[in-house]
Amino acid sequence: MLVHPQFDPVAFHIWKWPIHWYGLTYLAAFVLFLVLANRQVARPWHAARGWTRRDVDDLLFYGVLGVVLGGRFGYVLFYKPMEYLSHPGNILAVWQGGMSFHGGLLGVILAMAFFGWRRGYRFFEVTDLIAPCVPTGLAMGRLGNFINGELWGRPADPGLPWAMVFPQAHDAVLTPRHPSQLYQFLGEGLLLFVVLWLFSRKPRPMAAMSGLFLIGYGLMRFIAEYFREPDDFLGLRALGWSQGQWLSVPMIVAGIVMMVWAYRRAAKAPQAASSA
């Protein structure tokens, strides 16, 4: 049975300024996005549509705004609406923690829609471009969760070789738990990245890439929630599912609908061209 190392949240200091591990994981996520997105815009089918490296820089700016604002307000609305309704001033107290991936996703969707409108790109052109570049950022975020010893997993069989005690959980006894942050790092991070990156190596019907991202993330998150400790202020909901699982189901459904629509639309295009 392993014990979480309880890393110092401060990685190092620059003069008197503390540099936190969590900030470094966010920085790594942004750098990885720039590298991967620049690889994407260099692909012939994206370059033919006029995508440039400058677009990637602007996409990162819009995306960061979407993640931060959407993630915070999503947490407020999805997880603690009554608490923040009673204390609205705490909504801006982001240093106290509280971000929602699903809210961040909605924020990014709005940001990408605005970017596409400003630059003359169709919405799914934008989301298809960024979809394979997102999972590495998710992986970095989960790595930050593990370093901070937060969002730990549910109790595990003590015989599980990688079961881990998280002292931060303040259990009455030393409860071995699943290191669910690492499960999510591997699933919705690395595995999803490999699937999407391989899928992006050929031109796909518009919206297919975005749909696959929604399906892949939704499935990975849904599975991981069986090993992740539910929020203590929410517990489990109907069917014994967590809030994260209920929020993932619409993503999976939307992704399936998008992929079916994308391939049906692509199949009809040659027929329309031949009859013209």
What is the rounded CA–CA span in Å between residue 234 and residue 86?
Answer: 18
Tell me which residue of 193, 178, 155, 169 sits closest to 224, measured CA to CA: 178
With tokens 């750098």, the residue in question is 31
**Lookup: tokens for 128:** 């298809």
SS3 (DSSP) at 50: coil
What is the rounded CA–CA span in Å between residue 61 and residue 111?
Answer: 9
Q: How far is CA 76 from the centre of its chain?
A: 17
What is the rounded CA–CA span in Å between residue 104 and residue 108?
Answer: 6
Q: What is the DSSP letter of 229?
A: P
What is the rounded CA–CA span in Å between residue 135 and residue 187?
Answer: 9
Annotated ligand binding at 142? The verdict is yes
Residues at the binding site are 142
